[in-house]
Amino acid sequence: MAEGKGLARSAGALAGIKVVDLTRVLGGPYCTMILSDHGADVIKIEPPQGDEVRDWGPPFDEGDASYFIGVNRNKRAIALDIGKPAGREVLLRLLDGADVLVENFKPGGMEKWGIGYADLEPRFPRLIHCRVSGFGADGPLGGLPGYDAVLQAMTGLMSVNGDPSTGPLRMGCPTVDLATGLYSAIAILMALQERTRSGRGQFIDMTLHDCGMALLHPQAANFFLNGKRPMPLGNPHPNISPYEKFATRTCDIFLACGNDAQFRKLADLLGRPDLASDPRFPTNADRLVNRAALTVELTAAFAAHDGHVIAETLLRAGVPAGPVLAVDEATAAPHTAAREMVTELDGYRGLGTPIKLSRTPGGTRRRPPRFAEHTEEVLGEHGFTRADVAALLREGVLHTVRRK
């Protein structure tokens, strides 16, 4: 058995599921990595020039950027020009016996080549075809391209991030892309479940726009009820207080008191039981109205504490609090190691799967593939001889070196 961390210890809950992955960049590849972590056989088909995020660095590992490495483990890779008729014939052979096709061409792209869902469904009636796009095919923006930060802006997410001094601020992680990958994986699993009853596949229309909109809680819920435009508040929560960052003697901590009982415990543990009986602060609604005054009191109360100690003390007492850790600190934390949230194999390091199944745990099986690394292996499994592969390489249908 391979040595490493966060490795798969079973065939996985999705063992036997075959996924043909035509996606690039982030949302689609993140979705298919979730599936591959749990045993699906994901065949990543890149265009001749490769997935462009292989270039999104530094840092690089033997020419592949961290951006690619972070979302492509457990997959096998080939490079195929499906713009050529012979390339589409190869794709159709790979789809034979496949359960899922995931692609993120602009709407109409697959149809232009005669391999859209309507073209594929009669030949592969059990195939689940998931398309990830910016805006979908219909509506005023149908068919237009979308990138994460642009959709953060257009769905309102950016407008509620930051604070009054910064104005709208892009989130530090590509939240819309990642959420679209997560929602797409959920949708595929739903379609697989439904297929067990109907025996039929279906088309899944996933967009960055819709997934970005779906993340607007509680800001949209607040607006629907009170009609007021949500504004960026920075760290404070629009509906809960205290729920924000405080400085201590050693580090910043984040405090999240979700109910009145937690606030009373907080006041006791800080040696300020008077805060709980103060007429300005007994309920969450009172604390929201008097947030500024409460912040002054808590800022003074936290100032002399060791942040790591007081945060753990509060947490163990049932008051949600934690130190504000940098990425290097968070990935090195003992609990991160205990939960196998950093995975390692053969020189590869990445974030582990957060999905913990008792009988069929997932995890790392393969490091992220080099460009076209599995060409002969994958095509051989689909009936292509070495002579067939050589001919396709000569014809420029297959590629083993990235086209510039």
Note every long-range contact of 280-289, with CB atoms under 8 Å and residues 24 or more positions apart, other chains counting: 284/240, 284/241, 284/259, 284/260, 287/241, 287/242, 287/263, 288/239, 288/240, 288/241
99 part of a folded domain: yes
Q: List pLDDT tens digits, range 323-362.
A: 999 999 999 999 999 999 999 999 999 999 999 999 999 9
Q: What is the mean pLDDT of residues 160-187?
A: 96
Q: 381: which 2 tokens?
A: 């499994």
Alpha-carbon distance of 61 to 52, in angstroms, equals: 15
Q: Is the pLDDT of residue 32 over 60?
A: yes
Shared domain for 141 and 290, answered yes or no, is no
330 part of a folded domain: no
Alpha-carbon distance of 391 to 134, in angstroms, equals: 36
275 part of a folded domain: yes
Q: Give 1's pLDDT tier (boundaries 50, 70, 90).
A: low
- Which of 323, 349, 381 is a domain's end point? 323
226 part of a folded domain: no
Q: What is the mean pLDDT of residues 171-184?
A: 97
What is the total residue count of the chain? 404
Q: Is the pLDDT of residue 120 over 70?
A: yes
Alpha-carbon distance of 191 to 175, in angstroms, equals: 24
Percent of all residues in the chain with a pLDDT value above 70, rounded to a whole number = 100
Q: List pLDDT tens digits, range 244-268.
A: 999 999 999 999 998 999 999 999 9
232 part of a folded domain: no
Alpha-carbon distance of 206 to 209, in angstroms, equals: 9
61 is catalytic: no
Shared domain for 135 and 103, answered yes or no, is yes
Q: Residue 127, CB half-sphere, CA atoms under 13 Å: how many?
A: 25
Q: Which among 41, 74, 25 has a CA at the least distance from the CA of 181?
A: 25
Sequence-separated (6 or more) residues with CB below 8 Å from residue 348 = 69, 73, 364, 367, 368
Alpha-carbon distance of 265 to 262, in angstroms, equals: 5
30 part of a folded domain: yes
- The alpha-carbon radius of gyration of the chain (Å, integer) is 25
Shared domain for 49 and 190, answered yes or no, is yes
Shared domain for 351 and 317, answered yes or no, is no
Residue 2: its pLDDT value, please?
72
Domain limits at 365?
4-215+337-394
Percent of all residues in the chain with a pLDDT value above 90, rounded to a whole number = 97
Looking at the structure of the chain, the number of domains it has is: 2
Q: List pLDDT tens digits, range 88-111.
A: 999 999 999 999 999 999 999 999
233 part of a folded domain: no
Shared domain for 258 and 210, answered yes or no, is no
Shared domain for 46 and 106, answered yes or no, is yes
Shared domain for 259 and 163, answered yes or no, is no
Shared domain for 211 and 345, answered yes or no, is yes
Q: Give 304's pLDDT tier (boundaries 50, 70, 90).
A: very high
- Which of 260, 291, 323 is a domain's end point? 323
CB 204 within 8 A of CB 248: no
Shared domain for 47 and 154, answered yes or no, is yes
The end-to-end CA distance of the chain, in Å, is 38
Average pLDDT, the chain: 96
From 21, 64, 177, 278, active-site residue: 177
Shared domain for 97 and 19, answered yes or no, is yes
**Residue 360 CA from chain centroid, whole number:** 21
CB 180 within 8 A of CB 208: yes
For the domain that residue 316 is a member of, what is the CATH number? 3.30.1540.10
Q: Is the pLDDT of residue 3 over 90?
A: no
Positive or negative, the Cα torsion across 231, 232, 233, 235? positive
Alpha-carbon distance of 396 to 48, in angstroms, equals: 9
Q: List pLDDT tens digits, range 370-402.
A: 999 999 999 999 999 999 999 999 999 999 999
**Residue 90 CA from chain centroid, whole number:** 30
Q: Is the pLDDT of residue 151 over 90?
A: yes
CB 365 within 8 A of CB 8: yes
Shared domain for 158 and 86, answered yes or no, is yes
176 part of a folded domain: yes
Sequence-separated (6 or more) residues with CB below 8 Å from residue 338 = none
Shared domain for 85 and 195, answered yes or no, is yes
- Which of 278, 299, 323 is a domain's end point? 323
